[in-house]
Amino acid sequence: MEFHISQQVQTTVDAPALTEGDFAAPAGTLGTISGLPLPDGTSYGVLLDGDPDALPASYEPQELIAAPSREDASMSQRRDYLNTVNTVMAQAGFGPASYSPLTGHAQAWYQWTGGQYAVNADAWPAGLYVIWHHARGWHYSTGRDTGVRHPLPFTLFADPMDVADGVRRLLLGLVRDLPASTDDWQPAAALAVIQDGPQ
């Protein structure tokens, strides 16, 4: 598949950090094409969402797919999704989100500080944020630098139970032990969770 400059893409392979402290991009990370293959090359330059260096990474065509349309879901669908996630998170004991619905947008912030829930204060001395945005998906950031968002290995509309499980691990500081979520939110199943509670 050929891509074009400024096209939104999603990676299909893991790109682990080369050294401690480097940016790691799990499969499913979103990005933007910033460079086309050279005449005798095949790789694309991709600016990955959440990469604090803001330098293009090199990906082969088979390691990328076009990003899912970020405008497919209506505002009501987005809010339904957030309401379901919020219910599941509350049932898991993680507390409510702070919502920030904007015109044509939706996002949710979850914030924890040391001493709350099961927060590992050694891993997150300045606290932890988990953020969902209708266009960027799931990310996390530290309380020390909320402007740097690290992508989580969840699909845009990940199953809320998978999100809660990932958050539980993240709060413990198990950043390298986060299972990827491949199941999307199913409204009918979500309704059962809200009515009956998680199994």
pLDDT digits (tens, 9 = 90+) for 116-164: 666 888 888 888 888 888 777 888 888 766 667 888 888 888 899 999 9
Residue at which a domain ends, from 16, 39, 66: 66
Dig out the tokens for 52 from the structure: 């604090």
1 found inside a domain: no
Does residue 2 lie in a domain region? Answer: no
Higher pLDDT among residues 96 and 79, named by residue: 79
- Same domain assignment for residues 55 and 140: no
Q: Which domain holds residue 165?
A: 75-196
* In a shared domain, residues 103 and 145: yes
Domain assignment present for residue 58? The answer is yes
CA neighbours closer than 13 Å in the CB half-sphere of residue 88: 26
Instruction: Characterize 115-153 residue by residue with b for buried, 16 or more Cβ atoms within 10 angstroms of its Cβ, and e for exposed.
Output: eeeebeeeebeebbbbbbbbebbbbbbeeeeeeebbbbb
3-class DSSP state for residue 72? coil
| pLDDT score, position 42 | 92
DSSP helix/strand/coil, 56: coil
Q: What is the pLDDT of residues 7-47, one digit of tens each?
A: 888 898 888 877 777 888 888 888 899 999 988 889 999 99
- Judge if 80 and 41 occupy the same domain: no
By the 10 Å C-beta count (0-12 exposed, 13-18 middle, 19+ buried), 76 is classed as exposed
